[in-house]
């Protein structure tokens, strides 16, 4: 697949009177505000008539944006090739059976279900889930209103033409105390490890030429009084975040796939906390640019 030649076009507003110009300015300001919150509301690769080179799956670390851009946009700039953001904030890798109800949109968009939809080429159940949430819930009036757009764009992707599928999950499995693994059933999709194995086998079974890459969660912390609890010390019931990262790397090695370790690779904890996080969990613009740069370098390495 050839490199995408990009040209930045210039859009000029038609001449207008004072009121018209004022109204146009308000529209532009509103659009910019939306972009700042939710990222670009379209897929440039569609207009170019080319499949995305990279598809990103994950939670809010991938799905969200800090300044209107986010990891997918920064990665596209780094590579000069189309990248699709297929992340959904608040989602887990594992399937939470007790939460899979019609109103539990975030739980329904877990990695297990998204991987099944991609492998089967059938997004009907996920579309119905999101439509239900859009109709009956308030979540799409808030930060998660990009869910329908990301789902629509994922459904349109010709995955047999995609080069890299990058999966970033684990933070929400960790902070919800979901089980690490099931020794009696390694494919138990209610566990983090089982969800990863299920997703990898479904995706590689459907698209054997697609390179699937795992990208670990980034370091995070919470402040409790004067104490800082980080991913190596805070256990919400399933283990510390470092244990989820360790299991992810072990699974990647077992399947012979590459893994980008951002948990240990972004620098000292103090540096990450001060420079790259804006709320203890989510990356600020500098953190998103750092991760995008690391991922771009990683993808350029020989397989």
For the chain, which domains are there?
51-89+147-300 (3.40.50.1110)
Tracing tokens 């020794």 back to the chain, one arrives at 183
**Which residues, given as ranges, of the chain have pLDDT below 70?**
1-50, 66, 97-103, 133-144
Whole-number pLDDT of residue 97: 67
Whole-number pLDDT of residue 98: 57
pLDDT digits (tens, 9 = 90+) for 31-53: 333 333 334 444 554 544 567 89
Phi, psi of 243 (to 5 degrees): -70, -40
Whole-number pLDDT of residue 23: 36
Instruction: Kindly state the greatest CA–CA separation across the chain.
Output: 72
Six-digit token string for 269: 């904890």
Whole-number pLDDT of residue 19: 33
Whole-number pLDDT of residue 137: 60
pLDDT digits (tens, 9 = 90+) for 172-206: 999 999 999 999 999 999 999 999 999 999 999 99
Six-digit token string for 195: 């969800």
DSSP designation for 277: B
CA 187 to chain centre: 23
Give CB contacts under 8 A, 24+ apart, made by 66-70: 66/278, 66/282, 66/283, 66/284, 66/285, 66/287, 66/288, 67/36, 67/285, 68/32, 68/35, 68/36, 68/37, 68/39, 69/39, 69/285, 69/288, 70/39, 70/288
pTM value is 0.81
């Amino acid at each position: 697949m050839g490199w995408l030649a990009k040209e930045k076009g210039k859009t000029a507003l038609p001449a207008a009177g004072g009121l018209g110009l004022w109204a146009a300015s308000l529209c532009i300001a509103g659009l910019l505000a939306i972009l700042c919150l939710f990222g670009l509301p379209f897929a440039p690769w569609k207009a170019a008539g080319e499949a995305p080179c990279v598809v990103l799956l994950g939670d809010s670390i991938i799905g969200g944006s800090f300044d209107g851009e986010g990891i997918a946009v920064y990665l596209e700039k780094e590579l000069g090739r189309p990248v699709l953001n297929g992340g959904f904030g608040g989602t887990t890798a594992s399937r939470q059976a007790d939460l899979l109800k019609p109103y539990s949109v975030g739980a329904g968009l877990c990695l297990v279900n998204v991987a099944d939809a991609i492998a089967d080429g059938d997004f009907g159940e996920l579309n119905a889930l999101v439509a239900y949430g859009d109709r009956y819930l308030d979540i799409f009036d808030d930060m998660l209103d990009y869910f329908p757009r990301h789902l629509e764009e994922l459904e349109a992707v010709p995955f047999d033409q995609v080069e890299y599928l990058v999966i970033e999950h684990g933070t929400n499995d960790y902070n919800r105390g979901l089980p690490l693994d099931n020794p009696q059933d390694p494919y138990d999709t209610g566990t983090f490890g089982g969800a990863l194995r299920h997703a990898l086998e479904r995706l590689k079974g459907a698209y054997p030429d697609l390179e699937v890459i795992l990208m670990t969660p980034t370091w995070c912390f919470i402040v409790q009084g004067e104490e800082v609890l980080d991913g190596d010390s805070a256990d919400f019931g399933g283990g510390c975040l470092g244990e989820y990262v360790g299991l992810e790397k072990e699974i990647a090695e077992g399947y012979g796939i590459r893994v980008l370790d951002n948990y240990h690779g972004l620098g000292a904890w103090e540096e990450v906390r001060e420079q790259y996080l804006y709320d203890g969990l989510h990356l600020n613009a500098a953190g998103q640019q750092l991760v995008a740069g690391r991922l771009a370098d990683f993808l350029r390495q020989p397989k």
